[in-house]
Chains A and B, each alone.
Chain A
Amino acid sequence: MEPTAKGEPPVEVGEPADGAKAGGDFRPQSPSAISPGDSHRKDHLVSDAIGKALQAHYRALTDAPLPDRFRVLLAQLEAKDSPDDQ
């Protein structure tokens, strides 16, 4: 999982969030592409930080309660659709 070039400290900002595999890694890189101290490693860290923030942003939104209007709307659509209504 971690890039394992010799003597390289693990590239790690934190544990992968649960949704990370769904697309948190915007730029899949082969382990060998990440060498110590170069810009690839920095890109990786920046990408990881942004990926986590993006998921936190999204999760906060999906966790928010839904407005009642959507439930009401669906009920109306269903009622309109029912055979007796024709």
Chain B
Amino acid sequence: MTNDSAPTPAKRSNGQTQAFRDGLVAQMPSLRAFAISLSGRLEYADDLVQETLLKAWANADSYQPGTNMRAWLFTILRNTFFSLRRQQGREVQDTDGIYSQHLATPASQEGALDLADFRAALAKLPAEQREVLVMVGASGLSYEEAAAVCNVAVGTVKSRISRARATLADLLGISGPHDLGGGSPADAIVKRSGFMDSSG
């Protein structure tokens, strides 16, 4: 936080700088998706991404070429997020209208959970569960990489994901014994999510 404006060490060659920069650009969409998923707030997420890019640039030497740059950037971003949250005492976040005001929601595919419902449920998870769920379930990190990003054991990642899934299933109403029992499972999920009213 103190040396955002510190210049990068001069020893990096132009080629290396270019490769690093290209890497950052390539990872931006994922980094931003992770930030939004983690913080649940679009503008705040963009601040987090900006802060992460500044820190990444200033600490480029600590990135080992050939390793997963996405995981490296996620580490910076989530550390920034949690340290700001501690400073600000922001434990409870506003989960109303999360994501939805600014982001278009693509139409759900048949048999899929409604995206808005899903996001509302996702936002209710503890951040520690949400981050690993998103990292492993969507952004393509391995359990091991996610564990390294969060500085916890692999088993901890697995149990957090397991709890996250159970909570989501509860919140989305697809966890009861009868919810997926009769008829097509896809129908049950669609019905429970209120996506279609075709129960005639």
Q: What is the bound-complex CA distance between A66 and B31, given in angstroms?
A: 11
Q: A19-B140, A26-B161, A80-B7 are in contact. List 8 more A-B contacts (CB 8 A).
A: A26-B136, A49-B185, A54-B134, A66-B32, A74-B53, A74-B57, A81-B8, A83-B10
Output the nearest chain B residue to A85 by Cβ-Cβ distance.
B7
A53/B113 in contact, CB under 8 A: yes
Q: For the complex, is A84 an interface residue (Cβ under 8 Å from B)?
A: no
Tell me which of B17-25, B61-69, B79-87, B148-156 binds A: B17-25
Neighbouring B residues of A33 by C-beta, 8 Å = none
Q: How many A residues face the partner with a CB closer than 8 A? A: 41
Which listed residue (B21, B32, B165, B169) contacts A61, Cβ 8 A? B32
B189/A61 in contact, CB under 8 A: no
Q: What is the bound-complex CA distance between A62 and B49, given in angstroms?
A: 13
Cross-chain pairs A/B with CB under 8 angstroms, 7 sampled: A13-B185, A13-B189, A60-B106, A62-B29, A62-B32, A63-B29, A77-B53
